[in-house]
């Protein structure tokens, strides 16, 4: 089963295509923003969609904290089934910890507080919880007394979401993925969702989800439709209302779209509400306009992404536009691409030692956590770059003036004299690695454009179920 939204045109859905064209230009031109995909839905149909090659519609993308909104949906489904009550105390789901958890604030912490990132802790607790118990994050979290009364303060806090995932696993007797497949993914037509797991085998819940842009749009559409999908109720309407309205104030957040309050694993915003994840993963829902926007990317300035949506998409809604603008936008979206490296062609590189160029961490440089790299020229595959770090090894053919896509990587190389530059994109994630080899000097340097939060080079791809 595959998610299939009806495809339409901007003008047929009451959107001026020139506004969408300006949105694309703004995303491509903003400092600190690199778009990988965008989908705009209105009235349940696709007005516009595009992927910047080498990213593609059928390829999953790491969601980072946008994963939290899927975990929250699992809680909502379990609440509807009577397996969880929002006013359950958290410790009641972990009876084996009852004697250990003596702090009165912790004992008053409820499921609704975890959903709202309002456990009573003033700051993130993941490192402290894992220091208390490296093998059991929930135990470490519940043994860390809150600073304030639960429900009174907001703090973005990964163990809140991890604990919610563990509660769902316990009440359902199965994993998060297995619980969601027949109850959320199958109805929405999501046939590819994977989750990074910890050493215990549990899905992270707060991060590590991989799925397609269209699946993200489907989740947003479900919430826009207040829990209904094809005549079937998946989430209670009062759950959706509660989850997508302010449960705890967060006025101290720096950016305007992060200081409008927090719901149940959804951020409120200047317009509508959203789920989001590090480096520009977005599910934006605008109920007043019947619009959903799903985006992926590698963006350090996530506020700039939302600013572009507000500046260019919002004025285009219900604005009369020329129908001739629709095909022009469609053609532009079909041609979207991230440019390969510019420079001279790789050709036959010299000086190159017999057996290829190798560098190891230390006197020859490197960086980005790499232990070693190796560059060779084969007769059939052309140039091949091999990278190794603590997570394992990755080998990829190097594109010469283009992106060479192989498995979960896409690489592009160029040269300037004896210096070879190679960009390595891990195309199921936001991440880009820059590699620079000086063949004459025998040195190499590697730097991340955006550093992975919980992966090495060998795990920067969709996890195997």
pLDDT (tens digit per residue) in 394-452 = 999 999 989 999 999 999 999 999 999 999 999 999 999 999 999 988 899 999 999 99
The answer to whether 60 and 428 have CB atoms below 8 angstroms apart is: yes
- CA–CA gap between residue 63 and residue 275 (Å, rounded): 10
Q: What is the pLDDT of residue 6?
A: 95
- 29: helix, coil or strand? helix
pLDDT higher than threshold 90 for residue 131: yes
Compare 363 and 110 and report the one with higher pLDDT.
110
**What distance in Å separates the CA atoms of residue 427 and residue 405, rounded to the nearest whole number?**
9
**Range with lowest mean pLDDT among 21-25, 265-269, 356-360:** 356-360
Q: What is the pLDDT of residue 292?
A: 98
Q: Does any domain span residue 142?
A: no
Which residues are 233's β-sheet partners?
228
Q: Flag whether 276 is in a domain.
A: yes
Write the CA distances from 76 to 44, 171, 197, 283, integer angstroms: 22, 13, 22, 18
Is the domain of 324 the same as that of 363? no
In a domain, 95, yes or no: no
Taking the model in full, what pTM does it have? 0.96
Question: For residue 361, what pLDDT band results from cuts at 50, 70 and 90?
Answer: confident
Tokens of 408: 């979960």
Please tell me the predicted confidence (pLDDT) of residue 379: 62
In this prediction, residue 2 carries a pLDDT of 46
* Claim to verify: residue 278 and residue 369 sit in the same structural domain: no
**315 and 452 within one domain:** no
- The range of the structural domain enclosing residue 52 comes to 6-81+165-334
The domain spanning residue 312 has which CATH number? 3.40.710.10
Q: Number of folded domains in the chain?
A: 2
């Amino acid at each position: 089963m595959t998610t299939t939204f009806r495809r339409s045109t901007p003008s047929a859905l009451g959107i001026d295509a020139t506004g969408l064209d300006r949105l694309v230009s703004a995303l491509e031109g903003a400092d600190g923003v690199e778009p990988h995909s965008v989908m705009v839905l209105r009235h349940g149909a696709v007005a516009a969609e595009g992927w910047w090659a080498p990213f593609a519609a059928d390829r999953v993308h790491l969601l980072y904290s946008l994963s939290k909104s899927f975990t929250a949906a699992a809680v909502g489904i379990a609440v509807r089934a009577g397996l969880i009550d929002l006013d359950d105390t958290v410790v009641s789901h972990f009876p084996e910890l009852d004697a250990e958890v003596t702090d009165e604030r912790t004992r008053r912490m409820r499921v609704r507080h975890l959903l709202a990132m309002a456990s009573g802790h003033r700051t993130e607790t993941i490192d402290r919880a894992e220091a208390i118990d490296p093998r059991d994050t929930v135990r470490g979290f519940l043994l860390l007394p809150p600073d304030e009364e639960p429900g009174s303060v907001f703090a973005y806090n990964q163990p809140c979401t991890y604990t919610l995932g563990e509660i769902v696993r316990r009440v359902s007797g199965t994993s998060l993925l297995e619980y969601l497949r027949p109850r959320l993914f199958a109805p929405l037509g999501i046939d590819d969702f994977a989750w990074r797991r910890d050493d215990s085998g549990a899905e992270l819940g707060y991060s590590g989800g991989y799925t397609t842009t269209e699946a993200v749009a489907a989740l947003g559409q479900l919430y826009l439709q207040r829990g209904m999908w094809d005549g079937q109720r998946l989430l209670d309407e009062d759950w959706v209302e509660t989850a997508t309205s302010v449960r705890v104030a967060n006025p101290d957040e720096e950016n305007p779209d992060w200081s409008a309050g927090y719901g149940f694993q959804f951020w409120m915003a200047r317009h509508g509400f959203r789920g989001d994840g590090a480096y520009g993963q977005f599910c934006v829902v605008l109920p007043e306009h019947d619009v959903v926007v799903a985006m992926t990317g590698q963006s350090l300035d996530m506020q700039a992404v939302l600013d572009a949506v507000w500046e260019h998409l919002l004025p285009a809604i219900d604005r009369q536009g020329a129908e001739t603008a629709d095909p022009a936008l469609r053609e532009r979206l079909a041609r979207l691409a991230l440019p390969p490296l510019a420079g001279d062609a790789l050709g036959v590189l010299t000086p190159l030692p017999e057996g290829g160029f190798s560098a190891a961490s230390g006197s020859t440089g490197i960086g980005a956590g790499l232990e070693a790299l190796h560059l060779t020229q084969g007769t059939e595959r052309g140039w091949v770059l091999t990278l190794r770090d603590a997570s394992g090894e990755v080998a990829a053919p190097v594109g010469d003036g283009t992106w060479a896509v192989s498995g979960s990587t896409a690489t592009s190389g160029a040269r300037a004299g004896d210096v070879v530059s190679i960009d390595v994109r891990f195309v199921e994630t936001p991440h880009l690695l820059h590699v620079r080899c000086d063949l004459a000097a025998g040195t190499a340097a590697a730097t991340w454009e955006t550093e992975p939060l919980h992966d090495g080079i060998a795990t920067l791809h969709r996890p195997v179920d």
